Amino acid sequence: MKHTRQNHQQPQQPQQVLTYAPPAHLEAEQSVLGAILVRPEVLDTMADMLRPEDFYREAHGLIYRAMLNLYGRSEPVDLVTVSARLREKGKLDEVGGAVFLAGLSEEVGFATNAGYYARLVSDKAVLRRMIDATQEIASGCLAPVENVPEFMDRAEQKVFDVVHAGRGGDGAMATLADLAKANWNHLETLFYQSKEDSGLLTGFYDYDRFTAGLHPGELTVLAARPGMGKTALALNIAWNVGQAEPVAFFSMEMDKARQLITRMVAQAGRIDGDNLRRCKLTQAEWAQRGQVQVALEDAKIWIDDTPGLTPLQLRARCRRLKARQNLALVIVDYLQLMRAPGMRGREDEIREIAYSLKEISKELGVPVLAAAQVNRDIEKRSGNRYQLSDLRESGAIEQASDNVLFLYRGKEDVVAKMDLAKQRNGRVGFFELAYSAQFCRFDNLMRGGAL
């Protein structure tokens, strides 16, 4: 007898469709509108905090837009005028009619809580915009992407735009009297604590005395001929700042991280650089190397040695570090080794790079220190005095920068001449630093046993 095998098919499960309700707080939206109808003067605050598109329910947005129109024309904002404005635009029935408007003034809890209700509406709007931004980014990922770095920059910018634009009303105007009082309190505190009003101190006293440190939103250019010590000085500053504040150090030369660490160890431990590179250390130097290792692991310094970064790539990496570590300083070594694809010529490329670094400093609210090469014209002049026009390849470096610091020393010199040739918000002048080739290290110059 032949047995036939029966196939028992499992019934197909109905396909699940994932749905979600966008973030919204309809009661808060109605409370905001009701508060305005009860106390129209709250629009003095609401107009700066909320936009019509912040309301999830379209009818609420239409009503609020009508209120803003009346407010902008200095007309009364009440049930009668808002109804008339909506009727004039043919939108009264669309929002629910005069009966719905009348009910809004009854729905409000306390008109004095209007600011709290508005914040609830604004927060939900931010979340909805974040959903829209991430969905747009996801859709873009599925479409053909010709330039991935540019796409990534646009994607990050969308998220940053939502974050920074989503807190309307946080800023506020202040009277001169209020600002003057706050300034006086600040100066009084500094005076009695014997402190200075400064930015991010570099650890080099004469420079900090001239500039009060490195300031958020400013681009500082450290310029010199090759071999003068630009990288060494930039590393010195990174080390000094990085003991307390996060620093991003971008080296544009390939596989430079190990060399930078070696230099940093030599500087921090005052260990002979040649001995360190050859690992021919004395017992004392080896012990000192161990102490420096502990300091290195505690330092808040991030090193990126990706060659020829573009401004888009550098901005994206700084944004991420700023979000994760509250980045305090960006150092670029050096500017002319960056690349800006799509520019017509080298001068346009350098202009794009210089202004992009300035934009990064403003966008992230951090100082940017960029090393730069100068041309050989100084060798034809007496006195070895740099000029701003010596900045190689583009006058845009001078234009984009807030501060320009020139470095010069002879090959055997133990004293480096520093020329602060430009300071947008202060005076210019000269100072000197001690230089030790053995340690690749700059120090404050000792004069007569004192700084």
Q: Which residues are catalytic, by number?
A: 253
Burial of 194 (0-12, 13-18, 19+ CB in 10 A): exposed
Whole-number Å distance between alpha carbons of 133 and 19? 18
Residues sharing a CB contact under 8 Å with residue 394, sequence separation 6 or more, in sequence order? 346, 347, 350, 351, 354
Peptide bond into 334 cis (omega under 30): yes
DSSP H helical segments within 39-170, as ranges?
43-49, 58-72, 79-88, 92-95, 97-107, 114-142, 148-165
Residue with tokens 């670029």: 332
- Return contacts of 313-318, CB within 8 angstroms, 24+ apart: 313/149, 314/250, 314/338, 314/356, 314/357, 314/360, 315/153, 315/356, 315/359, 315/360, 315/363, 316/149, 316/152, 316/153, 316/156, 317/248, 317/250, 318/248, 318/360, 318/364, 318/366
Whole-number Å distance between alpha carbons of 372 and 41? 55
Residues sharing a CB contact under 8 Å with residue 199, sequence separation 6 or more, in sequence order? 211, 212, 213, 214, 215, 216, 367
Can you give the length of the chain in residues? Answer: 451
Of 372, 376, 379, 377, the C-alpha closest to 422 is: 372
Token duo for residue 422: 């430009």
Instruction: Give me the phi and psi of 124, to 5 degrees please.
Output: -65, -35
Instruction: Give me the phi and psi of 341, to 5 degrees please.
Output: -60, 150
CA quadruple 414, 415, 421, 426: dihedral sign = positive
Report which secondary-structure segment, H or E, holds 257.
Answer: helix 257-269
